[in-house]
Structures are given as structure tokens and as C-alpha cells.
């Protein structure tokens, strides 16, 4: 036995010598990493007042890349690469003996609005010269392809906006049976495609919601959303929509400076595209008390759609010929239907909500066919 062991040992030594290097155990390659003890927001910059660009789930592995100057913030990404940005170092559990100050320093910014996004007025845009329904679809097909790869639901839409979108008059009735398409029977296919989705309660459409709030975890529904998750990201995670119908402005023009509205709307579109969801932007109704300001904010909506090359529904222009511009006596809310919101007969679509329903279905139908979403 001793002779056999001696021979075996000599064989191994000889083999190692022939390979030209001493044998040693393989060492697994490691990278600086940490885990989030609970769901954590990921920020654009090492500053919690900046935009949230993602959310990491509890115990998710984070690959660490860099830090800010004092190590209080960490730049990292999820192991699958789907989420990347800045996190509070104090909220991370470091692994593999990693320390924040051992990482290189970075000043990288995750999302940077273009210089044009700081402009608050676009006088060259004439709202009444732009088509009502989308005539250009830009990046829609490309975004939809990403969405399909991410497993988004081809029969789902999201409604994103304020009280004009949250209203039970908007699209919701098309989830029922009391539908009268009137002379618009060609819309039967798009109604069938998204019928179940029309009736869903959006987590990103509330009475009084403004653009900054839909990007703020404070305004997320705690019964459905994860800690640190914004209403917008929560809606997209829960609904997994193929298309998002986005309309802001009616509330923002009362509370949000134009340059902030511009920046926020760009962030909303940026996050929508990043999620693989096709944004269908819409101009909003005028405001009889602030008509010129409403025009300015709608010009911003148009410019954002042009800059991001996504479809646009020009509701503002379509409402112009209606009595009182399709607005109730308060000068800012859409007029209710004569019969019911899912009645698209000629008389009923002279009211604000039924007309918006008709135009939204027409725009959605055009986008749906353009991006060739199949159920």
C-alpha cells in the first residue's frame, strides 16, 4: 500500500512539473457586493431629493461599482443588470469584506435631462395645427419589442394621470357590456384586445396627482406597492402593460412651475420607455381660468413627445369646437356623457368624456396596429 501511495504522489508531482506551475485549489472570482435588507429606491444621483430610477427588492444582490467622495452613497446595479443607480450606503449589508471607502469614486448621473428640458416655453408649437390622432409612431415598435422580451402583457394598458384619468367615465365602462360604438365599429377589435384591462384601477392615476407625485414613493398605494416604490413604477410592475396612456397638466399648471413640469414629464416618459412600455402621450384640456398657461404646458407635452419620438394624442385641439371646449362650468373638468361614457353615438361624443374615450380608443388602435401587439 505504501509503495502504491508513493507512486501516486510521484505521478502527481511529475504532472505538475510538466504543466510548469505548482498546483493550487481554484479560487472563485468575487466582486464587491451587498444586499438590500428591504426594498430600496435607487436614485439618479447620490442625493435623495433627485429622481428615483429604480427599486431593488428585499435581499436582492447588488454589484457595487463606486462611491461618492465620502462613501455615504454607493453606485451599483442588480445582479441581472436591470436596475442601476445610487443607493444609501447605510442601508446596505456589505458582503465579501467590502467596505464603502475601498470603492473608486464616481460622479456619474443616471438620468440627465437634455438642456432643452429646461426650456419652459415652446412658442413655435401651434396646438391647433397638429393632428388630433397620432400620425407618427417613432420608437413605438422598438419599445414594444423590448416590452415583449420583458414579458409584458399584450392585452394590458396603464392609465397614468390625474382626476381626468382616474374618473370612472374614462375607458372603464368599456370593460362592461353596455358599449355602443356608433359609427365606429372598426374599434371593436381594439376594445376586445384591451377590454379586461380597461376596468383595472390604476395605481398611477389619482385625483389631484401631479407629475412630481407620480414619481414620489410617498404617494404610492401601500396596499399594492413595495416600500420605496413610486406610483409609476408600482403600476408598471403590477400591470405589466404594453401601452401607457399618459396625460398630465390640468393639475400641474396650478401647482408646478413650467420647467419642473417639463423635467418631470421627461422623467415619466424616460421610465416608461425603460420599462418596455409604449408611452401614448396626450395633451390635456384647456383651463378657462388659465388658458394661456394651459397652452404653454400643452406645448411642453408636444415637445416631449417629439423629443422622445413617441405617439401623441392631441386632445386639446379636438375639444376646441365643443361647447365651452368640452369643459364643465368650473372651466377645468370634462363634461360628462349624455347617456353613458361607452356610448360613442354622434350626440354623445359632443361631450368631453365620451369624445376623449373615442379619441383614446382610436389612438390606441393605431398604436396597437403599428407595434403589432398580438394576444
Helix (H/G/I), strand (E/B), else coil: 84: strand
CA distance 153 to 196: 12
Q: What is the pLDDT along the chain (375 residues), one digit of tens a residue?
A: 444 444 444 444 443 344 444 444 444 446 789 998 877 778 888 987 677 777 777 788 898 989 999 999 999 988 877 788 899 898 899 988 888 999 999 988 876 555 444 455 677 889 999 999 999 899 999 999 999 999 999 999 999 999 999 999 999 999 998 899 999 999 999 999 999 999 999 999 999 899 999 998 989 999 999 888 899 999 999 999 999 999 999 999 989 999 899 989 999 999 999 899 999 999 999 888 888 999 999 999 999 999 999 999 999 999 999 999 989 888 788 999 999 999 999 999 999 999 999 999 999 999 999 987 544
Main-chain dihedrals φ then ψ at residue 370, nearest 5 degrees: -65, -40
Give the pLDDT score at 60: 87
Q: Where in the chain is the domain with CATH 3.40.50.1110?
A: 115-371
For residue 321, the model assigns a pLDDT of 92
Question: How many other CB atoms sit within 10 Å of the CB of residue 148?
Answer: 16
Residue ranges of the chain assigned to CATH 2.30.30.40:
33-102
Give me Rg for the CA atoms of the chain.
Answer: 27
User: How crowded is residue 106: how many other Cβ atoms within 10 Å of its Cβ?
Assistant: 16
Residue 42 DSSP SS3: strand
User: Which H/E stretch holds residue 244?
Assistant: strand 241-247
Please say whether the beta carbons of 155 and 193 come within 8 A. yes
CATH classification (class only), 115-371? alpha beta
**The predicted structure's pLDDT at residue 4:** 46
Instruction: Label residue 138 left, alpha or beta by phi (over 0 means left) and psi (-120 to 50 means alpha).
Output: left
CB atoms within 10 A of CB 47: 11
Q: Is 37 in contact with 94 (CB distance < 8 Å)?
A: no
In whole angstroms, give the CA distance from residue 329 to residue 102: 63
Q: What CATH superfamily is the domain 33-102? A: SH3 Domains (2.30.30.40)
For residue 207, which phi and psi values (nearest 5 degrees)?
A: -65, 125
HSE on the CB side for 181, CA within 13 Å?
Answer: 15
Sign of CA dihedral 248, 252, 256, 259: positive
* DSSP 8-state secondary structure symbol assigned to residue 142: H
Strands 73-78 and 84-88: antiparallel
Amino acid at each position: 500500500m505504501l509503495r502504491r501511495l508513493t507512486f501516486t504522489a510521484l505521478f502527481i508531482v511529475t504532472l505538475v512539473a510538466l504543466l510548469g506551475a505548482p498546483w493550487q485549489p481554484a479560487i472563485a472570482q468575487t466582486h464587491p457586493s451587498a444586499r438590500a435588507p428591504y426594498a430600496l429606491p435607487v436614485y439618479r444621483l447620490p442625493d435623495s431629493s433627485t429622481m428615483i430610477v429604480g427599486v431593488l427588492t428585499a435581499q436582492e444582490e447588488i454589484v457595487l461599482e463606486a462611491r461618492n467622495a465620502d462613501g455615504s452613497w454607493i453606485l451599483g446595479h442588480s445582479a441581472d443588470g436591470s436596475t442601476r443607480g445610487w443607493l444609501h450606503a447605510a442601508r446596505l449589508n456589505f458582503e465579501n469584506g467590502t467596505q464603502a471607502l475601498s470603492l473608486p469614486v464616481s460622479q456619474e448621473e443616471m438620468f440627465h435631462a437634455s438642456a432643452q428640458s429646461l426650456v419652459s416655453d415652446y412658442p413655435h408649437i401651434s396646438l391647433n395645427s397638429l393632428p388630433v390622432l397620432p400620425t407618427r409612431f417613432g420608437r413605438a415598435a422598438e419599445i414594444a419589442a423590448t416590452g415583449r422580451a420583458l414579458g409584458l402583457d399584450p392585452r394590458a394598458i396603464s392609465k397614468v394621470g390625474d382626476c381626468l384619468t382616474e374618473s370612472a367615465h374614462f375607458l372603464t365602462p368599456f370593460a362592461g357590456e353596455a358599449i355602443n360604438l356608433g359609427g365606429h365599429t372598426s374599434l371593436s377589435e381594439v376594445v376586445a384586445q384591451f377590454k379586461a384591462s380597461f376596468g383595472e384601477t390604476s395605481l398611477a392615476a389619482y385625483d389631484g396627482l401631479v407629475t412630481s407625485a407620480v414619481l414620489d414613493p410617498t404617494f404610492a398605494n401601500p396596499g399594492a406597492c413595495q416600500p420605496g416604490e413610486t406610483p409609476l413604477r408600482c403600476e408598471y410592475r403590477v400591470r405589466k402593460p404594453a401601452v401607457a396612456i399618459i396625460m398630465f397638466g390640468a393639475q400641474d399648471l396650478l401647482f408646478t412651475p413650467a420647467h419642473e413640469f417639463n423635467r418631470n414629464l421627461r422623467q415619466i416618459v424616460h421610465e416608461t420607455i425603460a420599462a418596455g412600455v409604449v408611452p401614448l402621450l396626450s395633451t390635456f384640456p384647456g383651463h378657462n381660468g388659465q388658458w394661456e398657461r394651459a397652452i404653454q404646458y400643452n406645448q411642453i407635452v408636444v415637445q416631449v413627445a417629439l423629443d422622445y419620438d413617441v405617439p401623441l394624442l392631441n386632445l386639446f385641439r379636438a375639444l376646441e369646437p365643443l361647447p365651452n371646449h368640452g369643459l364643465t362650468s368650473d372651466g377645468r373638468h370634462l363634461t360628462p356623457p349624455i347617456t353613458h361614457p361607452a356610448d360613442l353615438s354622434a350626440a354623445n361624443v359632443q361631450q368631453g368624456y365620451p369624445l376623449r374615450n373615442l379619441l383614446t380608443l382610436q389612438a390606441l388602435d393605431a398604436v396597437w396596429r403599428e407595434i403589432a401587439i398580438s394576444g
